[in-house]
Each structure stands twice: as structure tokens, then as C-alpha cells.
């Protein structure tokens, strides 16, 4: 019996130690990647955003960027500000519960709630209509935004999106983390120290077979997701997504605004034949640009093409298919990171 008590005390001591490591780690991460933007409370949610205004010299309508799972506003901002800065009013935001935004009401646990919060933020900032850009998980929110807020949608750009029900589920830690007590203990003890060891290999899988953008981890502050409250919000989003898109995808035919879908056949994170082909099939006014040997990050690997898609959604003539073929030639030799390993 003494051995049982000793083992139990050892386990409790280990958990307290890991909790302390997590708190120190979260403090260090927040010091390394502080909030850079402004805050506004809309839909009972304290939203963190950066609004890069064009100062009257714009040639494009406003653009709103929705980052993917495990991300924050730095991800799309690092990808697009260089090419679009000054050309449009650009709204980069931390989705509810991500980056430096608060989680807000329970409605923000699903894409329609987050879309409503984004719409409220647009109203707060005086953005009447915009091109909505959604990457990965942000694609599900972008589709919902076009469905529920057509008056605010000029067009939608989907980048390696999630949008439809897929076979299988999600990684185990997404399902574990929202579980009461056990999930809380996991997020407060193990998620951060073990997550730090997975940040760079995980980034390689996100980009594979393309080489990751230089200093991507440092520039985008990926580690912010490892803070316990952010980790729980992200896990809740992902664990509930399959049920949500299963109910919502049949409604996509109601979306009348134009859309462009840019996806790669070597995406190791989502299934492009399920999601991107599904959007092409279900959206009445969608153009699919299918890129051979492109992974999950067209926002970085195909930035020129994505910018041209935004221009086309704004009304400019752009031959996206020709640009896509040119990009295929450019990246045909990319062999960074085995897709097969990342799919395991």
C-alpha cells in the first residue's frame, strides 16, 4: 500500500511540476509574442485585430483574413501584407479564443458564431463589404460567412480549406482536451512542453512537400496556441468541426457570391478531394485552381496567385488557371519533407 501512495504522490508532484513549467512557458511565449494590434469588444467578445488601412490610395475593396486552426493573425499578415499593403483596407484578426482575442460567448465555439463575431467587428470598424479570405479551418468560417452574411461578402477566397464532412476524425488530443477535468489537466500540464517539441516538425508537415517559409515559426508566433486557454479553444473548434460541416455543407448551394478555391494535391493536413472539390461542386459560382505538388500553405507558396484571385473577386480580369500552371512548373521539384510521414 505504501508503494501505491508513493506512486500517487509522485504523480501529483509531477503534475504540479508540469503545471509550473506550463505557466512559465506561457509567460515566456506571451512575452515573446505580445499583442501588436488593437482591441474592440463586439458580440460580447474582446477581439484583437490589426486594421491596415489603405489611406485613400486603394485599388481594391477591403479584405478580411481568417486564419486556420492553431494560428493567429500573424499568419496571414506575414503572407499578404507585403503585396497588398496600401492597395486595400486589410483586416487581420485573431479568431475568438485564438491569439490575443477572448473566447467570448459559447456561440463562438462553432464557425457560424465566429462568423457572426467577425461580421460585428466589421461593422464596428465601418467595413460594409469585403473579400473574405479563409485558410484551412478559416475556410469553414468563410463559407459560413458567405452563407449567413451575403450582404457583407464581395467574394470568398478559399485557401486549402476545410468545408465538408471527411472520413475519420481528428487527432486524439483534439478530442481529449475539451473533456472536463482530464482535458483541463492535459492542457495545463503536458500540452505546452510536448507541443514545443512538435512545433517545427509540425510546421514542416503543414508546408510539405514545399519548403517552409523562412523563420515562419518565429514570424507568426505559432507557439501562442500552446498556452492552456488558447489550446483548449483551438481543440474545441477542431473537435466540433466535423459535426458542424456535416450539417452546413448541404446549404452551400445557397451561396451566390463568387468564390475562388486554391488547393494542392499534396496537402498533408486536409483532404483536397473532399473539401476543395466539394466546394467546386456545391458553390454555384466557384472557380477551382488545382495545383500539382502544392501542400497546405498556398498563402505562402502561391501568394501571387492568391493576390490575383483577390483581384479577380474584386472584378479584375485574371487568368488564374494560367498562373496556376506556371506555379506548377516553378514548384515541380519541391521535395521538402515526405508527405507520407506527415499523413501517419
Could you write out the DSSP letters of every residue in 264-323? ETT-SSS-HHHHHHHHHHH-TTEEEEEETT--S-HHHHTHHHHHHHHHHHTT----HHHH
Instruction: Indicate left, alpha or beta for 316 from its phi (over 0: left) and psi (-120 to 50: alpha).
Output: beta
Half-sphere exposure of 123 (CA within 13 A, CB side): 11
How much is the pLDDT for 57? 84
How much is the pLDDT for 344? 58
- Cα–Cα distance between 336 and 224 in angstroms, integer? 25
Is residue 105 exposed (0-12), middle (13-18) or buried (19+ Cβ within 10 Å)?
middle
Unique residue bearing C-alpha cell 456545391:
282
Cβ neighbors of 251 (< 8 A, separation 6 or more) are 147
CB burial readout 290-300, b (16+ within 10 A) else e = bbebbbbbbbb
How much is the pLDDT for 12? 81
How much is the pLDDT for 343? 60
Secondary structure of residue 133 in the 3-state scheme: strand
Cβ neighbors of 82 (< 8 A, separation 6 or more) are none
Torsion sign across C-alpha atoms 186, 188, 194, 195 = positive
- Cα–Cα distance between 259 and 287 in angstroms, integer? 6
Question: DSSP letters along 154-217, please?
Answer: EEEEEES---S--SS---HHHHHTTSTTHHHHHHHHTHHHHHHHHHHHHHHHHHTTSPPPTTHH
Domain-by-domain residue ranges, the chain? 2-343
How much is the pLDDT for 237? 98
Q: pLDDT digits over 301-338, tens only?
A: 999 999 999 999 999 999 999 999 999 999 999 998 77
Q: What is the pLDDT tens value at each position of the chain, 344 positions in all?
A: 577 777 777 778 888 899 999 999 999 999 999 999 999 999 999 999 999 999 878 999 999 999 999 999 999 999 999 999 999 999 999 999 999 999 999 999 999 999 999 999 999 999 999 999 999 999 999 999 999 999 999 999 999 999 999 998 899 999 999 999 999 999 999 999 999 999 999 999 999 999 999 999 999 999 999 999 999 999 999 999 999 999 999 999 999 999 999 999 999 999 999 999 999 999 999 999 999 999 999 999 999 999 999 999 999 999 999 999 999 999 999 998 776 667 65
Secondary structure of residue 56 in the 3-state scheme: coil
The answer to whether the beta carbons of residues 269 and 170 sit under 8 Å apart is: no
Cell of 235: 481543440
Half-sphere exposure of 30 (CA within 13 A, CB side): 14
- Cα–Cα distance between 9 and 116 in angstroms, integer? 47
> Domain 2-343 belongs to what architecture?
3-Layer(aba) Sandwich (3.40)
Amino acid at each position: 500500500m505504501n508503494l501505491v501512495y508513493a506512486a500517487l504522490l509522485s504523480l501529483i508532484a509531477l503534475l504540479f511540476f508540469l503545471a509550473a513549467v506550463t505557466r512559465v512557458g506561457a509567460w515566456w511565449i506571451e512575452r515573446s509574442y505580445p499583442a501588436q494590434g488593437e482591441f474592440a469588444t463586439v458580440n460580447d467578445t474582446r477581439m484583437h485585430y490589426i486594421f491596415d488601412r489603405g489611406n485613400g490610395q486603394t485599388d481594391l475593396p477591403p479584405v478580411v483574413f481568417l486564419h486556420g486552426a492553431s494560428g493567429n493573425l500573424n499568419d496571414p499578415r506575414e503572407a499578404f501584407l507585403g503585396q497588398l499593403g496600401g492597395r486595400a483596407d486589410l483586416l487581420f484578426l485573431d479568431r475568438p479564443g485564438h491569439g490575443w482575442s477572448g473566447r467570448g460567448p459559447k456561440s463562438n465555439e462553432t464557425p457560424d458564431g465566429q462568423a457572426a463575431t467577425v461580421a460585428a467587428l466589421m461593422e464596428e470598424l465601418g467595413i460594409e463589404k469585403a473579400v473574405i479570405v479563409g485558410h484551412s479551418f478559416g475556410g469553414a468560417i468563410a463559407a459560413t460567412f458567405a452563407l449567413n452574411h451575403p450582404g457583407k461578402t464581395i467574394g470568398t477566397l478559399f485557401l486549402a480549406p476545410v468545408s465538408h464532412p471527411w472520413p475519420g476524425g481528428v487527432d486524439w488530443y483534439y478530442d481529449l482536451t475539451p473533456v472536463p477535468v482530464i482535458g483541463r489537466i492535459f492542457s495545463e500540464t503536458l500540452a505546452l512542453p510536448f507541443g514545443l517539441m512538435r512545433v517545427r516538425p509540425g510546421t514542416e508537415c503543414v508546408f510539405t512537400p514545399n519548403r517552409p517559409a523562412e523563420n515562419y515559426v518565429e514570424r507568426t508566433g505559432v507557439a501562442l496556441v500552446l498556452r492552456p486557454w488558447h489550446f483548449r479553444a483551438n481543440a474545441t473548434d477542431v473537435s466540433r468541426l466535423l459535426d458542424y460541416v456535416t450539417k452546413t455543407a448541404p446549404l452551400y448551394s445557397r451561396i451566390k457570391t463568387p468564390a475562388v478555391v486554391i488547393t494542392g494535391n499534396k496537402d498533408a493536413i486536409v483532404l483536397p478531394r473532399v473539401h476543395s472539390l466539394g466546394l467546386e461542386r456545391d458553390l454555384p459560382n466557384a472557380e477551382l485552381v488545382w495545383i500539382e505538388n502544392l501542400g497546405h500553405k498556398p498563402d505562402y507558396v502561391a501568394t501571387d496567385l492568391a493576390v490575383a484571385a483577390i483581384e479577380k473577386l474584386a472584378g479584375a480580369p485574371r487568368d488564374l488557371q494560367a498562373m496556376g500552371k506556371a506555379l506548377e512548373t516553378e514548384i515541380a521539384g519541391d521535395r521538402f519533407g515526405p508527405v507520407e510521414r506527415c499523413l501517419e
